[in-house]
Amino acid sequence: MTRSELEHVIRAAGRIARDREIVVIGSQAVLGQFPDAPRVLLASMEADIYPRNHPERADLIDGAIGEGSPFHEEYGYYAQGVGAATATLPKGWRARLVSIENPNTEGVEGLCLEVHDLAISKYVAGREKDLAFTRALARHALARKKILLERAAATKLDPDHLKLVRGRIRRDFAAR
């Protein structure tokens, strides 16, 4: 997904949900901070999003422009309406959201996770695709180890999971 495609999804989601603020919490949130992110980080054709002021309307988005919808068939990318609790995030993440609002979003603001908060959600989830994403963030120097370790400590995790997340972070940066 490209930045302009994400802007299209934000615009469409805002109209569908009748909400002028759309939170982007999936991997494509990287486009908020890095509009020209390396291609390896843009492999996903879906944007995980929810309406900030009406999160209960995420299902409307999923039905209208989600996977297998006419929107998906026409454009080749889609939105996945998710819940606000889909990602495990560090304390203070809302204050660090990165805004996308320009003529292409037509008055709808996309609020993208800051890259370190996004990475923490990926480290916590720990699926292979998530860990490939965090390795690419480290390899392309789009995230800093020190900040990631601080954010991990600010995330509500049991001690064993926190230890696992810290190990994943260290491994990604040892490989550089």
Q: Are residues 106 and 123 in the same domain?
A: no
Domains in the chain: how many in total? 2
Q: Are residues 85 and 155 in the same domain?
A: no
Does the structure show a pLDDT above 80 at 175?
A: no
Q: Are residues 64 and 94 in the same domain?
A: yes
Other beta carbons within 10 angstroms of residue 39's beta carbon come to: 9
Q: Are residues 28 and 109 in the same domain?
A: yes
Q: Are residues 125 and 83 in the same domain?
A: no
pLDDT, position 176? 58
Residue ranges making up the domain that contains 122: 116-174
Query: Which of 84, 17, 6, 3 lies closest to 46 in space, CA to CA?
Result: 6
Question: Model confidence over 72-109: pLDDT tens digits?
Answer: 999 999 999 999 899 999 999 999 999 999 999 999 99
The answer for 23, left when phi > 0, alpha when psi is -120 to 50, beta otherwise, is beta
Question: Model confidence over 114-150: pLDDT tens digits?
Answer: 999 999 999 999 999 999 999 999 999 999 999 999 9
pTM exceeds 0.75: yes
